[in-house]
Structure 1
Amino acid sequence: MNSQALPTTSVYATDGADIDTQLQRIIADLPNVNAKLQNATPEEILAWSVDNLPNLYQTTAFGLTGCVTLDIISRMSKERAKRAGIEPKHLVPLIFIDTLYHFPQTIDLAERASQNYAAPMHVFRPEGTDTVARFEERWGPQFWERDEDTYDYLVKVEPARRAYNELDVRAVFTGRRRTQGADRADLAAVEVDETGLIKVNPLLNWSFADVDKYVKEHAVPYNELLNFGYKSVGDWHSTSLPSEKDSGERSGRWGDKAGKTECGLHKDYFKFKVVAEKKLREAELSRKDAARA
């Protein structure tokens, strides 16, 4: 559990309300919150979140936006500690979902960034499989080619939900921005998903140029693959160099999957879970039948 106590200045906790009550009040007040934050700066959105959201974490795959968010939180943590006259402590712990198929550069960046910012990082992997060999022994090689949605559930959606349950996560920062287009074009600053998890998009109002400028001005550590022309980095098998004709910010992701824009983490969890688990049960029965044959 996040050891950071909710600041008593939060209007949602001034009467000593428990976490569930605070969250109910925040969710009920989201229209007002988003009206206030719809044109806010990342610093303003981050400050509101740290001041008001209990059990807050940053879920990140260390994309450029996530790295900038991490840097701003670090600066905020140091500034607040200095004003309070206490030792600085990174205010928002990290959650990193290691799919086992990340580029080596991504794994290296996660470790370097966590150390650089003294940010506690919780790493979660596919259940019961902590290496590619073990994952493919259980599910077969190139599972994403046979059933990409179920693959996404196994390596991203289920580990993320397990992380949220084990850490008692109630709110997370994401790296989504409006200029990334597709399903992200109409983002609000603060959202609540079907599970009750609050998702905050602190850089929603920034363009890629804004993010890139911040990275350069503040020497933010970032994935070195971006230096070679990649624009959005995910698993190695779903990431490619974008074509000259494709200028989208997430170009190069799922290039052979027409229309795909999200990996599952920002889709309806319950619907995704039901379909994936049904397929997994059917696959398990097929394996048992084959073994008996």
Structure 2
Amino acid sequence: MTAIDTVDLDAKLQQQEPKDIIAYALEQFDNITISFSGAEDVVLIDMASKINPDIQVFCLDTGRLHAETYQYIEKVREHYGISIDVVSPDGEAVRKLVAEKGLFSFYKDNHQECCGVRKIAPLRKKLLEVDAWITGQRKDQSPGTRASIPVIQDDKVFARPGETLTKFNPLANWSSKQVWDYIRMFDVPYNELHDKGFTSIGCEPCTRPTGPNQHEREGRWWWEEATKKECGLHGGNIKK
């Protein structure tokens, strides 16, 4: 298909509702998938499934997720009657990392190496299969890295060499309250860890509940500096 002028288009889509942005994305791309892990993503699935019940969805199984998250994946699959492509990391790469540095090296070094093996490499492989993807990023999730995310962008991090990969962030302008208002209004399934104080949920060793007045991302990689709270899935957010 003809390349999209994402900069010009983003200015227009910024004014649109998420469901309309998703409708546009599905109209433009047949080979498009939703990245699923949390509350925002299931809102995207709910909206998209009302437009196309056969929407492609994938999630990353790092091998270190909470038991509740695995149960949640099944709950969403059954609720919407969809197929979820559960993408796993390369077993040999995981074994090499664990053999050399142990199971909890991220507490001593930083989380980027482990995330690189368990999340980034399998994501890169998955995105080679599609022309566009949809994520649940919001601007207010991480003021240090996501405050300026567009609604539509050229994904230069994961694009195939010489080709274009388009990335949609339909919830960019929504708040956490709007996400949860939607979940409650439409009885959308959510991870039960949210009822236990978890606001942003990742791998089990790297996620903990947040306390009163803490930002939602403070429960992720809590031992690191706040400005580093990205695993690399959205590496383009971090200014070099």
TM-score, shorter chain, exceeding 0.5? yes
> Pick from 87, 109, 118: which aligns with 2:72?
109
The answer to whether the aligner puts 1:46 opposite 2:22 as a matched pair is yes
Give the drift of 1:143.
3.0
Aligned residue number for residue 212 of structure 2: 244
CA distance in 2, matches of 1:172, 1:139: 33
1:146 CA displacement? 4.2
2:12 matches 1:36: yes
1:226-275 superposed Cα distances (whole Å, 9 cap, x missing partner): 011111010111111213241x2323111111132211111159xxxxxx
- What SS does the corresponding residue of 2:218 show, helix, strand or coil? coil
Shift in Å at residue 108 of structure 1?
0.8
Determine the C-alpha separation between the residues in 2 that align with 1:52 and 1:220: 26
Cα pair 1:40 1:205 within 8 Å, conserved: no
Q: Distance in 2 between matches of 1:121 and 1:179?
A: 27
Q: Distance in 1 between matches of 2:59 and 2:39?
A: 14
1:65 is aligned, of 12, 36, 40, to: 40
Q: Could you tell me which residue of structure 2 aligns to residue 126 of structure 1?
A: 89
Verify: 1:145 aligned to 2:107, yes or no. yes
Aligned length: 229
Aligned to 2:235: 267
Q: Which runs of 5+ in 2 are unaligned?
A: none
Aligned with residue 148 of structure 2, among 177, 186, 205: 186
**Distance apart, 1:53 and its partner CA:** 2.1
Q: TM-score, normalised by structure 1?
A: 0.72
Paired with 1:146 and 1:127, the residues of 2 have a C-alpha distance of 23
Deviation at 1:139, TM superposition (A): 5.4
SS of equivalent residue, structure 1 residue 262: coil
Give distance in 1, aligned partners of 2:61 and 2:179. Answer: 24
Tell me if 1:254 matches 2:198: no
Q: Name 2:61's counterpart in structure 1.
A: 98
**Higher RCO, 1 vs 2 (CA within 8 Å, ≥6 residues apart):** 2
1:74 aligns with 2:22: no
Task: Measure, in 2, the Cα distance between the counterparts of 1:71 and 1:53.
Answer: 18
Given that residues 94 and 121 in structure 1 are in contact (C-alpha distance below 8 angstroms), is that contact kept between their aligned partners in structure 2? Answer: yes
- Mapped to 2, the partners of 1:156 and 1:76 lie a distance apart of 29
Checking the alignment, whether the CA contact within 8 Å between 1:231 and 1:251 is kept in structure 2 is no
Q: Percent identity?
A: 30
Instruction: Answer yes or no: is the 8 Å Cα contact 1:41–1:205 preserved in 2.
Output: no
Which of 131, 134, 138 is the aligned partner of 1:173?
Answer: 134
**Residue 115 of structure 1, CA deviation:** 2.0
Quick check: 2:36–2:57 contact (8 Å CA) kept in 1?
Answer: yes
2:68, 2:204 → 1: CA distance?
Answer: 10
CA deviation map 1:175-229 (0-9, x unaligned): 1011212211111110112233211001112111111110001110000010111
Q: Which amino acid aligns with 2:153?
A: E
* Partner secondary structure for residue 182 of structure 1: coil
How far, CA to CA, are the matches of 1:30 and 1:101 in structure 2?
35
SS of the aligned residue for 2:58 comes to strand
In structure 1, distance between residues paired with 2:155 and 2:96: 32
Gaps spanning 5+ residues in structure 1: where? 1-21, 78-88, 270-293
Q: Which has the higher helix share?
A: 1
